[in-house]
């Protein structure tokens, strides 16, 4: 029993159960302490990306047999490059390109693995009925989850996204999804509404007879979604060693465009497993609740919600922060108390001791739309490198910390292809994008010479198959009706 709920040590689970359940029965998240795992991080650095991934996943999710086979199946012919997540030098920083997978966003790294974990877990548990995967998405998780789970035996998947809250390309990626086991539905509300709705469906269904079926999650509340992301911090570090930029043992800083705190938490896991991670820089857009939290220790979600040009980070309730809080204090009843305050009052404050620990690992900043557009243009003009608005937020926030890092290298995580957000990118290059996003993609390609990923280009002629729009109060009924089909 390596895992327990962040809110109570009474709810324990082995790693297979944690993945299959997605969320603990008390609404907490399943967590283990990676610093307690004996992990030979130096040998991991000498591995290929896939072997590195298998090694890390075996350490974090020890109850799955043959992780190597799981990882091989997960990444077979899915990514553009053999190393999965290449590191490229841009000026004197390094950009870790996490978007070379089937849906052109970093979510692919984990959501290629998760269906394999669920399938292996079902077999181990002798499950006969379907696992229904519930997913709330701010834009990118939805498509990556659909891509991973469509037509996987023994699974069904339901994706909820904020109505009019995602980019046109993101919406088309989801609404054109084929597969006999998929449902895609827009919810009137923002991402936080969709995510809270999904959590509510989980707790309501605990009491209900689902006819043998069970629920799980493809969001990073599921540890099976978080664990596969730890690999790319090792990958980037190994790349810097291989390029001769650092020696094994040297410190590397990472800048992470952050929304739900999953990506950056994977960096904290990497550090706890031994990787010499320096600072983790938490970069937010104008929804800067995390910047304030890391700087002051007060988490206050009672603030205006902005729709920005980096929609995958338009989030005010960052679920995975709960896991970090647990790892910092190891006191589940304290975490439960904070989460209760967050849901009843919308605000909580951590103790000075925990804040100090938090600030020893993390620094934070934010960047508004105007500055992210400016950054895309500036980096393209100076280095010929085209980045998406999420990556631009990270690059921009990195500017404020770069001097404090001295000669130590900095890796900026690039979370999406610029072609997922073509209008913002073209505007950044000084042209008016107009309404036709596919014409914008072609124009961007002419200017930058960067090829349009095939999975995005083909959306122009794909048939829209999903048009459901519901109110957030109706999410439970929507799920129950699909379960009973």
Binding positions for ligand PLP, rule: CB under 6 A: 105, 107, 140, 220, 257-263, 312-313, 390, 415-416
Minimum CB–partner distance for residue 262 and ligand PLP (Å): 3
Minimum CB–partner distance for residue 57 and ligand PLP (Å): 18
- Encode 416-467 in three state secondary structure: ECHHHCHHHHHHHCCCCCCCCHHHHHHHHHHHHCCCCCHHHHHHHHCCCCCC
How deeply is 228 buried, as exposed, middle or buried, from its count of CB atoms within 10 A (0-12, 13-18, 19+)? Answer: buried
Pure H helices in 331-388: 332-345, 352-361, 369-383
Question: Residue 2 pairs with which residues in a beta bridge?
Answer: none
Minimum CB–partner distance for residue 392 and ligand PLP (Å): 11
Minimum CB–partner distance for residue 416 and ligand PLP (Å): 4
At 102, list the tokens. 């089937």
Nearer to ligand PLP, 107 or 323 (CB): 107
Residue 386: closest CA among 307, 436, 443, 333: 443
Nearer to ligand PLP, 155 or 285 (CB): 285
Minimum CB–partner distance for residue 367 and ligand PLP (Å): 13
Minimum CB–partner distance for residue 417 and ligand PLP (Å): 9
**188 and 163 in contact (C-beta within 8 Å)?**
yes
Nearer to ligand PLP, 93 or 107 (CB): 107
Which pairing describes strands 347-349 and 298-300: parallel, antiparallel, or unpaired? antiparallel
Nearer to ligand PLP, 215 or 226 (CB): 226
**213 and 127 in contact (C-beta within 8 Å)?**
no
Nearer to ligand PLP, 197 or 259 (CB): 259
Nearer to ligand PLP, 31 or 416 (CB): 416
Minimum CB–partner distance for residue 130 and ligand PLP (Å): 26
Nearer to ligand PLP, 44 or 313 (CB): 313
Nearer to ligand PLP, 174 or 483 (CB): 174
Tell me the DSSP string of 17-66. HHHHHSS-TTS--EE--GGGS---HHHHHTS-HHHHHHHHHHHHSTTSS-
- What 356-362 contacts at long range (C-beta under 8 Å, 24+ apart), as own/partner pairs, is 357/328, 358/294, 358/297, 358/324, 358/328, 359/294, 361/268, 361/271, 361/279, 361/280, 362/264, 362/279, 362/280, 362/281, 362/282, 362/294
With H, G, I as helix, E, B as strand and everything else as coil, classify residue 297: coil
Tell me the DSSP string of 160-197. EEETT-S-HHHHHHHHT---TTEEEEEEES-HHHHHHH
Minimum CB–partner distance for residue 316 and ligand PLP (Å): 12
C-alpha 218/C-alpha 231 separation (Å) is 18
At 97, list the tokens. 């390109």
The helix, strand and coil proportions of the chain, stated in percent and rounded to the nearest 5, come to: 50, 15, 35
Nearer to ligand PLP, 171 or 263 (CB): 263
Nearer to ligand PLP, 119 or 285 (CB): 285
Nearer to ligand PLP, 116 or 258 (CB): 258
Minimum CB–partner distance for residue 106 and ligand PLP (Å): 6
Minimum CB–partner distance for residue 164 and ligand PLP (Å): 18
With H, G, I as helix, E, B as strand and everything else as coil, classify residue 139: coil
Minimum CB–partner distance for residue 323 and ligand PLP (Å): 12
């Amino acid at each position: 029993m390596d895992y327990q709920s962040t809110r109570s040590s009474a709810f324990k689970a082995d790693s297979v159960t944690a993945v299959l359940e997605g969320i603990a029965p008390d609404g907490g998240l399943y967590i283990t302490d990676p610093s307690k795992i004996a992990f030979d991080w130096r040998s991991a650095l000498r591995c290929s990306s896939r072997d590195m991934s298998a090694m890390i996943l075996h350490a974090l999710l020890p109850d799955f047999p043959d992780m190597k086979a799981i990882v091989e199946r997960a990444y077979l012919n899915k990514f553009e490059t053999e190393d999965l997540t290449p590191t490229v030098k841009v000026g004197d920083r390094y950009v870790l390109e996490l978007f070379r997978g089937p849906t052109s966003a970093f979510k692919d790294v984990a959501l290629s693995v998760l269906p394999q974990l669920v399938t292996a877990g079902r077999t181990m548990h002798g499950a006969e009925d379907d696992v229904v995967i519930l997913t709330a998405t701010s834009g990118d998780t939805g498509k990556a989850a659909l891509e991973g789970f469509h037509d996987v035996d023994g699974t069904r998947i339901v994706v909820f996204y904020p109505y009019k809250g995602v980019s046109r390309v993101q919406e088309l990626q989801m609404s054109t999804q084929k597969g006999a086991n998929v449902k895609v539905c827009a919810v009137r509300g923002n991402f936080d509404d969709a995510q809270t709705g999904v959590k509510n469906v989980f707790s309501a269904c605990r009491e209900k007879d689902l006819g043998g079926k069970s629920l799980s999650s493809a969001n990073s509340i599921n540890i099976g979604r978080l664990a596969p992301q730890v690999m790319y911090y090792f990958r980037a570090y190994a790349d810097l060693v291989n390029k001769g930029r650092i020696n094994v043992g040297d410190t590397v800083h990472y800048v992470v465009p952050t929304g739900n705190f999953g990506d950056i938490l994977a960096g904290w896991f990497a550090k706890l497993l031994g990787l010499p991670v320096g600072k983790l820089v938490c970069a937010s857009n104008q929804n800067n609740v995390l910047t304030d939290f890391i700087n002051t220790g007060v988490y206050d979600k009672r603030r205006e919600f902005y729709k920005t040009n980096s929609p995958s980070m338009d989030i005010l309730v960052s679920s995975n922060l709960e896991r970090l809080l647990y790892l910092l204090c190891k006191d589940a009843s304290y975490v439960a108390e904070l989460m209760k305050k967050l849901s009843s009052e919308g605000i909580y404050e951590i103790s000075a001791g925990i804040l100090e620990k938090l600030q020893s690992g993390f620094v934070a900043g934010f960047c508004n739309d105007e500055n992210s557009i400016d950054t895309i243009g500036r980096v393209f003009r100076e280095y010929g490198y085209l980045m998406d608005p999420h990556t631009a937020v990270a690059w921009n926030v990195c500017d404020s910390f770069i001097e404090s890092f001295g000669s130590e290298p900095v890796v900026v995580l690039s979370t999406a292809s610029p072609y997922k957000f073509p209008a913002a990118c073209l505007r950044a290059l000084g042209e008016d994008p107009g309404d036709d996003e596919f014409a914008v993609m072609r124009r961007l390609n002419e200017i930058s010479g960067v090829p349009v990923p095939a999975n995005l280009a083909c959306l122009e002629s794909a048939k829209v198959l999903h048009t459901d729009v519901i109110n957030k109060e109706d999410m439970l009924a929507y799920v129950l009706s699909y379960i009973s089909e």
